[in-house]
Amino acid sequence: MENKFKKITSLWIITVLILFVVAIILGLLMRFNQGGNIKLDPVTFYTDMTIHGLTMIGIWFVAGMAAVNYIMERYVRTSYKANLIAYIMTVVGVLMLWGAGFIGKFHAGWTFLYPLPFKIMWEQWATPLFLYALLVLGVGWTIWTVSLMISLLKKYTLSQVFAWQHFKRDAKPEVETPPFVLISMISLVGVLSCLITAAALDFLLLTEYYSNGGFINDALLMKNLTYFFGHTLANEMLYLGLAVIYELFSEVSGRPKWKTSWYVAYAWNLTLFFVLFAFLHHMYMDFVQPETLQIIGQLASYLASIPSTGVTIFSILVAVYGTKINWNLANLMFFIGTAGWVSGGIGAVIDATISNNFLLHNTLWVPAHFHTYNALGNVLFSLGFFYWFSFQLKDGIIKDKHSMLKILLIVIGGIGFLAAFYFAGADSVARRYANYPEEMASGKFWATFGGTFATIYLLGIILFIGGILKRCFGFVFSRV
Amino acid sequence: MFRLCLFTSIVMLTILPAQSLFSQSLGDFREEINIYNTLYDAPLHLVGGADVSLHELAKDKPIILALVFSRCSGVCNPLVLELKENLRMLNLQQELPYSVLVLSFDPWDKIEDMQYMAERFNLTNEPDWYFGVTDSINQVINSVGFKPIWDEKKKQFDHDALLAGVSTKGKMTKKLLGLRNSKDLRMLVQSINKVFIPSYRLPTNTSIFTCFNYDPETGKIVPGTGLLIIIMPVLITWLTVIGIRMAVRKKTT
Ligand code: HEM
């Protein structure tokens, strides 16, 4: 592996981890404000919420991309230039977003649902700055995504890259598609669709902004585009993490490498298709959306999640059941992360069932499930990779002190933090409230409870990432 | 691929400015103004002698509020007449109870003027019909979002024909501007009885990419150009994937 890829990946890791700690602190401030333990004015709360959401989604997406790019170098040559451009544009885009939020007080939520960006309750310039920030991020990420696709398609044909030659049960194909290549390509296709959708959304928003009332957007179209982009991206970034697990889990556990079997090929191809329709479950309460689309939303939510979850759990269980595994912090993070991903997925499928959605829509059940598959799922996938990667930089041997303590703090802190969201959600406490009114009084108790456990989670994270940061910084500033 | 992107961009870039040049209005959102606000709880003097507040009157049965004035030579008479006819035809009282309050917004109107009006429409003895005046008419019309303008030359108010639905909690749940058909009136009565009423966006010149368009004549929903924008990213993605593969294959052979 060329050193420049190690350097750029180290830079990504350092950036992601620093932003992660800041974003968790914003999350804690929100939770303790909801609990009445501290007092933020509502504008600060919603600014923090917007920046927290966008930063978290952004960093864990790029973390997945950086990991996939690093590992992809094992199979094909990737473009260092595209990786670097994406890094620079991400830093510039994040600075612009934070400027719009922290200085301009833009606070329309991470989904910036239309027409909120135009209900200007902040500095006038913050809305265009926010929209241009999205453009910068979108362009950088599109260049990176397309360049990774080009790298894969130079070596694999279309049917090979999607593992269609593996569909036959007893197939012995000439060219085997590694699961990592299959899942990466499927995720990249989804990511590109999201980014083009985001571009269309941004274009329509900017057009309305500059048209002085001459052009008005259709609210239903904008909501569909927003969730096509937002929901699908949140899913695809998980799949990027899973691609890494399919590659590294067996390797760091001292087990034989995983291969693409017919059911893995089928499951991921189904995901490729159905994940594009799952976002429709965000529209259940939009009665103007025809009923057929609502039903498609429910079916697609099941069909996108169940096959890929099924084969991943199966593969991991087969790998660990009754065999000796070299457990270390990397594969433990992958293992616990998969459990978190599945638990969050169950929470999501419950909410994506129309009859339940009547009760759970826009309650804290929603942040409950997406924080589960992020804070105890995708984040752990990437932390597992970061950990493994940082040891690659040193001597390749994974040894660590206090592993158990770190894991316990993250898991116990994480479970308590998430439980508070679930219990409050089941008690109909609405999401996105800076201060809970009397009708949702239980929300206050759960917020303090969740905030306390989230502090334990943060402690675990700080202990966990200390060594990784040290090794990555050391490598970035070394002369090798 | 490149040509397709170029073509789409050119189409979008030409349609949008042209669209804004020819656009005339921002759409009529007057029916949305102050919706779900609590109406001012004005003390009412009703024909027949009763003195109650607006919220007290609405407490037992939600109200259809018609704002008129007795000297009106314009839309007031057709408004009340059509309301009477439509309600009689719909015959909703059993399933969806309501009362009708015909309130004068003219500060010069006296209770006798409203009594005369009720007689003219033959509604004096009709149960659930109330005619009245109030000393706090400005607060009422402000809370409704109704803006009559006095025309000194004609000695008349220039005003909309307006019906407002008021729930048992005194909240305005729906407004109807203009003389409307019985279907719309049924929706208003449903809305004050807490029955969910789907709404639809009024067509405007300024919005071109709609997902679905509602045709009030047929009551049908038809797909719009906005749906294309939702499908487009997936199409472009697949064209890109296929295009890349074709391009790299050409290069290697
Ligand atoms: C311990 C760590 C975390 C804490 C304390 C935290 C806290 C919070 C809180 C309090 C909210 C607002 C909930 C509400 O609607 O009332 C929130 C929203 C959100 N969080 Fe987190 N969070 C954490 C980790 C994460 C992670 C890891 C991710 C994603 C990878 C994430 C993504 C989001 C998003 C997307 C929102 C929605 C923002 C919006 O509604 O605009 N959070 N978080």
Q: CB distance B230–A220 less than 8 Å? A: no
Q: Nearest C-alpha of chain B: how many angstroms from A76?
A: 14
Q: How far is CA A8 from the centre of its chain?
A: 20
Q: CB distance B248–A154 less than 8 Å? A: yes
Nearest to A196 among B23, B233, B248 (CB): B233
Question: Which one has a higher pLDDT value, B181 or A138?
Answer: A138
| pLDDT, average across residues B89-97 | 93
Give per-residue pLDDT as tens, A218-272.
999 999 999 999 999 999 999 999 999 999 999 998 888 899 999 999 999 999 9
Percent of all residues in chain B with a pLDDT value above 70, rounded to a whole number = 85
Nearest Cα to Cα of residue A109 among A61, A32, A41, A57: A57
Q: CB distance B209–A217 less than 8 Å? A: yes
Nearest to A221 among B27, B209, B234 (CB): B209
Residue A195 has, within 13 A of its CA and on its CB side, a CA count of 24
Which residue type does A297 have? G
Nearest to B198 among A216, A224, A287 (CB): A287
Nearest CA to ligand 1 atom 40: A109
Give per-residue pLDDT as tens, A302-352.
998 888 888 888 888 887 887 888 888 999 999 999 999 999 999 999 988
Q: Which residues of chain A have a CB within 8 Å of the CB of B230?
A: 197, 221, 224-225, 228
- A413 Cα nearest atom in ligand 1: 1
pLDDT of A376: 98
Q: Which residues of chain A have pLDDT under 70?
A: 1, 393-398, 480
Enter the ipTM. Answer: 0.91
State how far the Cα of A207 lies from the Cα of A217, in Å rounded to an integer.
9
A-B Cβ pairs (cutoff 8 Å, strict): 99
Nearest Cα to Cα of residue A278 among A399, A204, A193: A193
Q: Nearest C-alpha of chain B: how many angstroms from A106?
A: 25
- A458 Cα nearest atom in ligand 1: 1
Confidence of residue B9 (pLDDT cuts 50, 70, 90): low
Nearest to B229 among A189, A192, A200 (CB): A200
Mean pLDDT over each residue of chain B, to the nearest integer: 87
Of the residues B208, B229, B232, B252, the best mutation for testing chain A's interface (the one with the most A CB atoms within 10 Å of its CB) is B229
Q: CB distance A218–B23 less than 8 Å? A: no
- A433 Cα nearest atom in ligand 1: 16
pLDDT of B29: 74
Q: Which residues of chain B have a CB within 8 Å of the CB of A159?
A: none
Q: Nearest C-alpha of chain A: how many angstroms from B100?
A: 30
Q: CB distance A215–B237 less than 8 Å? A: no
Question: Over chain B, what HEC string results?
Answer: CHHHHHHHHHHHHHHHHHHHHHCCCCCCCHHHCCCCCECCCCEEEECCCCEEEHHHHHHHCCEEEEEECCCCCCCHHHHHHHHHHHHHHHCCCCCCCCEEEEEECCCCCCHHHHHHHHHHCCCCCCCCEEEEEECCHHHHHHHHCCCCEEECCCCEEECCCEEEEECCCCEEEEEEECCCCHHHHHHHHHHHCCCCCCCCCCCCCCCCCCCEEEECCCCEEEECCHHHHHHHHHHHHHHHHHHHHHHHHHHHC
Which residues lie closer than 8 Å to A184 by C-beta, 6 or more apart?
A68, A72, A148, A152, A240, A243
Nearest to B237 among A196, A215, A219 (CB): A196
State how far the Cα of A243 lies from the Cα of A239, in Å rounded to an integer.
6
Least confident of A69-83, A153-167, B5-19, B93-107: B5-19
Q: CB distance B245–A203 less than 8 Å? A: no
Percent of all residues in chain A with a pLDDT value above 70, rounded to a whole number = 98
Q: CB distance B212–A288 less than 8 Å? A: yes
| pLDDT, average across residues B38-50 | 95
Mutation probe of ligand 1 site: the residue of A45, A56, A411 with most atoms within 8 A of C-beta? A56
Of the residues B195, B220, B240, B249, the best mutation for testing chain A's interface (the one with the most A CB atoms within 10 Å of its CB) is B240
What lines the ligand 1 site, CB under 6 Å? Answer: A 24, 27-28, 30-31, 49-50, 52-53, 56-57, 60, 109-111, 367, 371, 374-375, 379, 417, 431-432, 454, 457
Spell out which chain A residues touch chain B, with contact meaning CB-CB distance below 8 angstroms. 146, 149-150, 153-154, 157-158, 189, 192-194, 196-197, 200, 203-204, 207, 211-221, 224-225, 228, 276, 287-290
Q: CB distance B248–A217 less than 8 Å? A: no
pLDDT of A330: 92
Number of domains comprising chain A: 1
pLDDT of B28: 60
Is B50 near chain A, with CB under 8 Å?
no
**CATH code, domain with A40:** 1.20.210.10
Q: Nearest C-alpha of chain B: how many angstroms from A446?
A: 31
Nearest to B27 among A157, A196, A216 (CB): A216
The domain in which residue A136 lies consists of 2-476
Of the residues B234, B235, B248, the best mutation for testing chain A's interface (the one with the most A CB atoms within 10 Å of its CB) is B234
